[in-house]
Structure 1
């Protein structure tokens, strides 16, 4: 079972991509897919979510940037 960072109720005219971007930003490339996995049936709602749709926003581990090695410094 996933740990949830937050729950969110959609407002008029909101789309899931926008909600996910506001919560996670661009730090997590697979955030939308992870949110859809955590919310079975949410994709069936269509692109514009009905008002009051509950969206569970799971805790997603932010990948650390790889350390770069510079050979000629």
Structure 2
């Protein structure tokens, strides 16, 4: 999915706004958009960004819940 940055947008904000997640998604978006980090933290208005498909984005493994007391 290709989206365009609005004023003040960051890559993680775009991922959250359009995909509803950031964990594992931002990293995949960085891989898809070679050189986007060179644009800075705040993306220029109108910058085209290719976002990953959520089914192909690898999210981190869920950790087991550890309880200190039973």
The runs of 5 or more residues in structure 2 that have no matched partner are 63-70
TM-score normalized by the length of structure 1: 0.68
Aligned equivalent of 1:58, options 52, 55, 58: 52
The runs of 5 or more residues in structure 1 that have no matched partner are 1-5, 67-73
Q: Please give the root-mean-square deviation of Cα atoms over the aligned residues, in Å.
A: 2.0
Tell me which protein shows more strand as a share of its residues: 1
Structure having the higher Rg = 1
Equivalent residues, number: 58
Runs of 4+ in structure 1 deviating by more than 3 angstroms, as ranges, are none
